[in-house]
Amino acid sequence: MSKSLFRRKSLDTIKKEYESGQGDLDGASLKKILGVRDLTFLGIAAVIGAGIFSTIGKAAYNGGPGISLLFVIIAITCGFSALCYAEFASRVPVAGSAYTYSYVTFGELIAWIIGWALILEYAIGNIVVAISWSGYFNNLLEHVLNIHLPEWMLVDPTTAQGAFNEATKAFAEGSVLSPEKVKSYQFAIEAWNNAPILGGTHIFFNLPAFIIVCLVTWLAYIGIKESKQSANAMVIFKIIVIVFVIIAGAFFVDTNNWTPFLPNRMEGVLKGVSAVFYAYIGFDAISTTAEECKNPQRDLPKAMINALLICTGLYILIALVLTGVENYSNFQGVNDPLAFVFEKRAPWLEAVISISAVVATTSVLLVFQLGQPRIWMTMSRDGLLPKQFQKIHPKFQTPSFATIVAGILVAVPALFLQDLLVTDLTSIGTLFAFALVGGGVILLPKIAKEPGKFHLPFINGRFIIPILTSIFIYFFWNRIQSAFLNISNENYQEILFLLFILLAIIMTILTVLKEFSVIPVLAVLFCSYLMIEIPAKSWLVFFGWMGVGLTIYFLYGYRKSKLSTK
């Protein structure tokens, strides 16, 4: 039983499938049209979105100007992971991303787990992005075009009910309210009173969020060429705007706002991990398009590194400008930080930012809606999902059925669900995928270098990893002692920290004994550490999601797997 659970798909099998041309049951295959520039733009399109226009405000409030260090830490972490992805991409040139890579190295059960985690990343992540897009779009309509949509078309039922109850209670108690709060409460009451009523129930839904997901799904359905051209155009526009904002903002920077640089120490900086890291799923999204690349073994690695460098540079500069223009303490509860800092200083720039925010989040939606169906398509080819998911449209050459299902799973919840803080969940999924890819590279057999292909440089970690682990333990010794002394009444967060210490020690011992390469080991350790900094309550939800996935695997995938018949 245990052997069959971890049955692997060999590199030779994947190579034969790739060379013979992957196709669905009717022989249709994906269109190979993506080059380095297209892949780089797809990566930037996925990474530069809600993180820079929205959640960076939350991170700035917690970490102060020091959040620029957070992006350096994330860049290093993603750098190690991107190099590991690049190694896999040069050896396994098929769609499926971390799912396929895990199938090759860890076996089917772990591959299913990571594939299920990626569904969490893409689907839930895109629901949040769609709801954010609705807010940006409505802001654009009101402040730039002076168009006002009915409130009941812009909000989910739960948020509307909660806002109405809070507003009526505050007015009934005669609480002293700020002008902004009074305006907000009046808006909530008017929205409730103006909403249509059906069977005694007030009707609310987020129509813009639903429409944009439908439009993006249609674009992903009709072809990768059309999606590529749209993504490229949107990326060029938003990079121009962001660079312009950085330059314009530099004139308003007050260096006094950078003091103190770490107002809440590194703990405050690391609180922003989940707020911004989920955006970096862009690296995974690039690898899902492997079968549509002209030369995936050469172009995917280059594109991943290019996207990483460009995005990290922009994030660091934006972080410094935001915290230089406005004191970090003023970002509490601010959901549109870029517009917030320029609202009074340069009102004309607010309109440009609003347009760019709409474009940026649209490009994120597009790339995520491209990535999800291709993972399902690969899982279906392996027999872990029904055959319909590998169906490729004969004209458009896209995974048609999987694309439609992905659209429905995002569009319908975006219409009615509350904008919950699920960035923690998507960050766990992303980091989990990155850590497994790093671990997978460690298990790959050594091969001779081939011209024109990317090869991860080998740096013997026999001495480097023990030194780095020792330094980490030295600086965190007080936390380790405290966690052990109070383990009976410690919260889950410290238990996760102790588990990470155990993992680091095991990885160090194995590296000394087996002489593992430094880069993949650091990818595993960096990603694992950032994972344990995410609130423990999100882990409980994540494990619940994994439980559902394992149930589906054992009821369907385990029996239907193509490897089960071999």
18: pLDDT strictly greater than 60: no
Confidence of residue 29 (pLDDT cuts 50, 70, 90): low
Does residue 421 sit in the same domain as residue 500? no
374: pLDDT strictly greater than 70: yes
Domains: count for the chain? 3
Question: What is the percentage of the chain residues whose pLDDT exceeds 90?
Answer: 11
Is 448 part of any domain?
Answer: no
Does residue 377 sit in the same domain as residue 514? no
Instruction: Judge contact between 544 and 428, C-beta under 8 A.
Output: no
Is 450 part of any domain?
Answer: no
- What is the model's pLDDT at position 1? 44
Is 449 part of any domain?
Answer: no
Angle at 78 between CA 73 and CA 82, to 5 degrees: 155
Confidence of residue 517 (pLDDT cuts 50, 70, 90): very high
Average pLDDT, the chain: 81
Does residue 130 sit in the same domain as residue 167? no
Q: Taking the complete model, does pTM exceed 0.75, yes or no?
A: yes
* Higher local confidence (pLDDT), 493 or 106: 106
Does residue 22 sit in the same domain as residue 102? yes
Q: State the helix-helix crossing angle for 67-91 and 296-325, rounded to 10 degrees.
A: 170
| Residue length of the chain | 566
In angstroms, rounded to a whole number, what is the distance separating the alpha carbons of residues 125 and 397?
Answer: 26
Q: What is the mean pLDDT of residues 3-7?
A: 68
Confidence of residue 484 (pLDDT cuts 50, 70, 90): confident
- What is the model's pLDDT at position 208? 92
489: pLDDT strictly greater than 70: no
Does residue 476 sit in the same domain as residue 494? yes
Does residue 129 sit in the same domain as residue 259? yes
In angstroms, rounded to a whole number, what is the distance separating the alpha carbons of residues 385 and 154?
Answer: 35
* DSSP state, residue 23: -
Does residue 227 sit in the same domain as residue 109? yes
504: pLDDT strictly greater than 90: yes
- What is the model's pLDDT at position 315? 83
Instruction: Judge contact between 269 and 69, C-beta under 8 A.
Output: yes
Confidence of residue 511 (pLDDT cuts 50, 70, 90): very high
Confidence of residue 177 (pLDDT cuts 50, 70, 90): low
Residue span of the structural domain in which 521 resides: 464-565
Choosing from 414, 443, 472, the residue where a domain stops is 443
Does residue 100 sit in the same domain as residue 238? yes
Identify the burial level of 173 via C-beta atoms within 10 angstroms of its C-beta, where 0-12 means exposed, 13-18 middle and 19 or more buried: exposed
Q: What are the phi and psi torsion angles at 244 (to 5°)?
A: -65, -40
pLDDT one-digit tens code per residue, 297-350: 778 888 888 888 888 888 888 888 888 888 888 887 676 787 778 877 777 777
71: pLDDT strictly greater than 50: yes
Is 282 part of any domain?
Answer: yes
Q: Which of 244, 234, 235 is nearest to 342 (CA)?
A: 244
367: pLDDT strictly greater than 80: yes
Mapped onto helix, strand or coil, the DSSP state of residue 9 is: coil
pLDDT one-digit tens code per residue, 432-476: 888 888 888 888 777 667 666 777 888 899 999 999 999 999 988
pLDDT one-digit tens code per residue, 84-112: 887 877 777 665 567 877 888 888 888 88
- What is the model's pLDDT at position 180? 61
- What is the model's pLDDT at position 94? 66
Does residue 27 sit in the same domain as residue 164? no
Distance of CA 483 to the CA centre of its chain: 31
Using CA atoms of 136, 219, 51, 272 in order, give the dihedral in degrees to the nearest 10.
Answer: 120
